[in-house]
Amino acid sequence: MVDQLSAKDWLNHGLKTLAQEGFTALKAVPLAKSMGVSRGSFYWHFADIEAFHAELLKLWRDIAAERIIADVDAAAEKDNAVERLLRRVFGERLALENAVRRWAVVDPTARAAVQAIDKRRVTYVEGLLRAAGVADDDARTRAQILYWAYLGFALSDRALPPARLRAVVQEMLRIASS
């Protein structure tokens, strides 16, 4: 039944709505209407819209950073971790990334979430580069450059054809390990 939605259902729908319509669509009544339920269902799971936004940003962090990191770490023994990470993040559509970053321009909570994930990601890439034998200062610098490249790609919101993706990843690996 539609009226038996879980908090996870609301959050997943919120992420989809955020990616497709932007942060201004993240309100209880329009979300409830689009899900075919009353707003009471929303308030059963969330004290208010701010609580929903906070949970939504936590879920975004989990999807956009922690799950990717876990995937790369799990395969690190059999793959080049930096290469796997680059193939993964440059091979995705990034509408949600862009939507959260647009939201962060006007909302302090979203801004704090973006700043935290940026730091997490750069620190993670720096650690991968160090583990691959890159000196500390160089690893820090190269991690920042790779992250800026990722952000530029995210803002373009364009998928790379497979051959182009391979070429871009290989060139970034060459730059990172030089």
Domains of the chain with CATH codes: 2-177 (1.10.357.10)
**78-89 pLDDT per residue, tens:** 778 999 999 899
Least confident of 28-42, 128-142, 148-162: 148-162
Supply angle C-alpha 143, 144, 145, rounded to 5. Answer: 90
In this prediction the pTM is 0.90
pLDDT exceeding 70 applies to what percent of the chain? 98
pLDDT of the residue at 61: 96
**170: its two tokens:** 């290989």
Closest CA to 56 of 108, 118, 109, 119: 109
CB half-sphere exposure, 11, CA atoms < 13 A: 19
Residue 59 has pLDDT above 90, yes or no: yes
pLDDT of the residue at 4: 83
pLDDT of the residue at 2: 47
Nearest-10 Cα torsion for 40, 42, 47, 48: -100
pLDDT of the residue at 78: 73
pLDDT of the residue at 1: 40
**92: its two tokens:** 């995705």
What gap in Å lies between CA 49 and CA 6, rounded to an integer? 16
Residue 107 has pLDDT above 60, yes or no: yes
Residue 92 has pLDDT above 90, yes or no: no
Average pLDDT over residues 107-117: 97
Supply angle C-alpha 58, 84, 149, rounded to 5. Answer: 70
**Please, which pLDDT band fits residue 160 given cuts at 50, 70 and 90?**
confident
Give me the chain's average pLDDT, please.
92
Residue 22 has pLDDT above 50, yes or no: yes
Report the length, in residues, of the chain.
178
